[in-house]
Structure 1
Amino acid sequence: MFQIKDRRKVKGGKKEKIKCVLVGDGAVGKSSLIAAYAQDTFREDYQPTAYDTFNVVVDVDDRPVCVEICDTAGQDSMSELRALCYPGTDVLMLCFSVVRPETFRSVAERWTRAVAGVNAPLVLVGTQSDLALDGRTIQALRARGEHAVTEVEARALAAKINAVYVETSAKTRRQLKDAFDAAILAGLPVISSKRPFWKKLLCLN
């Protein structure tokens, strides 16, 4: 099994580099995921993103890999700016909030089309899973005739778009590392050619 160690500074030596781009509707928690993973912080407030990049170094079986993580805006008005970050992408993380079903539908109806021209593997990421257990959130969804996106629903979409699915929470860190591990493994050329193998090993799909 491939081992991805905790992030640490690696001095000297040649590093492989991959580019990971996060896309999805605004306020689904893309920036919070990145902050929790790359900076070990949690952002309570929502601040719209234009375009930000973060770099972390991980060890994949003792191979240092530099991961460039790109945070993009979800607003339609930012589509031209967002498109500028697609060239050179090695893996895409399509993000939606499990407690905002409209953002899940948006992945299926909007984002898969938006990135159709990007030749990169996909990781479907359900965010804010901690809120799926929050009574007020569930009650508010029921009042609108909606429900939190289930794992079965998410995995069905993942299978349809040939993606791995990971459900996570930036606040509790639940499966946070798993989500980025999946993206890193998918983005590495040598490993991405054997996706069914590592998907089975990681038990993500």
Structure 2
Amino acid sequence: MNNHQVQSNTSSNYDASFKILLIGDSGVGKSSLLLTFVSTCFDHLPPTIGVDFKIKLVTVGENKLKLTIWDTAGQEKFRTLTSSYYRGAQGIVLVYDVTRRETFTNLSDFWAKEVELYSTNQDCVKMLVGNKVDKDSERAVSREQGLGLAQQLGSLFIECSAKTRENVELCFQELVIKIMEVPSLLEEGSNIVKRNILKHKEEDSPPTGCCS
């Protein structure tokens, strides 16, 4: 992991653009995770209405990446609005609250099925996130249970806290690195591949001019 340092980057030029979707029940901290990742502050936010998204420019190794991170509403009345937002997502973050057991069971009973139903990328990388580990004394879902569900879903797994920032950067770092390791996803969002094709075409072209 040390070879894949993720750093913020403010340049408008990037090598690849990836779409990441945050899903899970209302109140699990999706918006707070996103805000903590893209800024330096933590706020107690009202429930998301419909969808919201933020853009984060990062550097992974030598590659500059543009992440468009979609934050979806977890309330049941907004769930039908989210189906179209699965389209084209290279990464999906499934979030639960470690202090609320029902938010964990709803991931396997509802949200994971939504991913299977609506995700258009078979190779899409999933990350299971147990949020609010700062409230460990109120924990209702063990780390082992989280790992077990992640294995069932074929997803990455991490526990974090949007409030203390614990593992928030690492969550998105591991997700992005995994996306970069999947050839179909890298090619889909990549300007790198296009540039390499153009470079090879230029190299294969006969030299012009008469100077020697």
Give ranges in structure 1 of 5+ residues lacking alignment: 139-146, 194-205
Amino acid at match of 2:4: Q
Amino acid at match of 1:123: M
Deviates more, 1:44-53 or 1:120-129: 44-53
Q: Select 1:131's aligned residue among 129, 135, 154.
A: 135
CA–CA separation in structure 2 for the residues paired with 1:71 and 1:54:
8
Displacement after TM superposition at 1:39 (Å): 1.8
Displacement after TM superposition at 1:48 (Å): 3.1
- Runs of 4+ in structure 1 deviating by more than 6 angstroms, as ranges, are none
Match of 1:112 in 2: 112
Give ranges in structure 2 of 5+ residues lacking alignment: 184-212
Aligned residues of 2:94 and 2:128 also touching (Cα < 8 A): yes
Q: What TM-score do you get using the length of structure 1 for normalisation?
A: 0.82
CA–CA separation in structure 2 for the residues paired with 1:116 and 1:40:
34
Q: Does residue 42 in structure 1 map to residue 38 in structure 2?
A: no
Q: Does residue 175 in structure 1 map to residue 176 in structure 2?
A: no
CA–CA separation in structure 1 for the residues paired with 2:103 and 2:47:
18
CA–CA separation in structure 1 for the residues paired with 2:23 and 2:168:
16
CA–CA separation in structure 2 for the residues paired with 1:160 and 1:107:
11
* Identity in percent: 27
Cα distance change of structure 1 residues 43 and 49 upon mapping to structure 2, 3 Å threshold? farther
Greater Rg over alpha carbons, structure: 2
Residues 146-185 of structure 1 mapped to structure 2, 5 A cutoff: 148-185=140-177
Match of 1:143 in 2: none
Alignment size in residue pairs: 179
Aligned residues of 2:6 and 2:173 also touching (Cα < 8 A): no
Match of 1:197 in 2: none
Give the aligned CA root-mean-square deviation in angstroms. Answer: 1.7
Q: What TM-score do you get using the length of structure 2 for normalisation?
A: 0.79
Match of 1:103 in 2: 103
Q: Does residue 192 in structure 1 map to residue 182 in structure 2?
A: yes
Aligned residues of 1:20 and 1:183 also touching (Cα < 8 A): no
Displacement after TM superposition at 1:11 (Å): 4.6
